[in-house]
Amino acid sequence: MDHSAKVKEFVVENFLFGDGESLKDDTSFMEEGIIDSTGILELVFFLEETFGFSVEDDELVPDNMDSLQNISRFINRKLNANSASEA
C-alpha cells in the first residue's frame, strides 16, 4: 500500500467511521469538519508511528495537514529529507 492509501484508510476509519465515499484528495478536513481541532493530534500520532519521522510543532499547519493531498506531499518531503540526511 502506498503512503496516500495508508493515510486515506486511517482517515476513513478514524474520522469518517468507514464512510469514505465523499472524501476526495483535496477535501479540506477543517472546512468539512472531518477532523476537529483536537483530533488533529490523532493524525499526527499516526503519521509519526507509521512513517517513522517526527512532526515539528511548526509543521502542524493546514498546508501540511488539511487534506490527503497536502499530507501526501508533506510525507514525501519528510521522507526525502530524512533519506537525504542519512545519505
Residue 18 interacts with another protein (CB under 8 A): yes or no: yes
Residue 44 interacts with another protein (CB under 8 A): yes or no: yes
Residue 86 interacts with another protein (CB under 8 A): yes or no: no
Least Å distance between CB 53 and another protein?
15
Residue 81 interacts with another protein (CB under 8 A): yes or no: no
Residue written as cell 469538519? 33
Least Å distance between CB 23 and another protein?
12
Q: Which of 30, 41, 32, 34 is nearest to 12 (CA)?
A: 34
State how far the alpha carbon of 12 is from the alpha carbons of 29, 56, 63, 82, in Å.
11, 24, 20, 28
Q: Choose, by CB under 8 A, the member of 1, 2, 26, 38 that binds another protein.
A: 38
Cβ contacts of 82 within 8 Å, gap of 6 or more: 52, 53
User: Which chain residues interact with another protein by CB under 8 A?
Assistant: 13-14, 16-19, 30-31, 33-34, 36-42, 44, 57-58, 60-62, 65-66
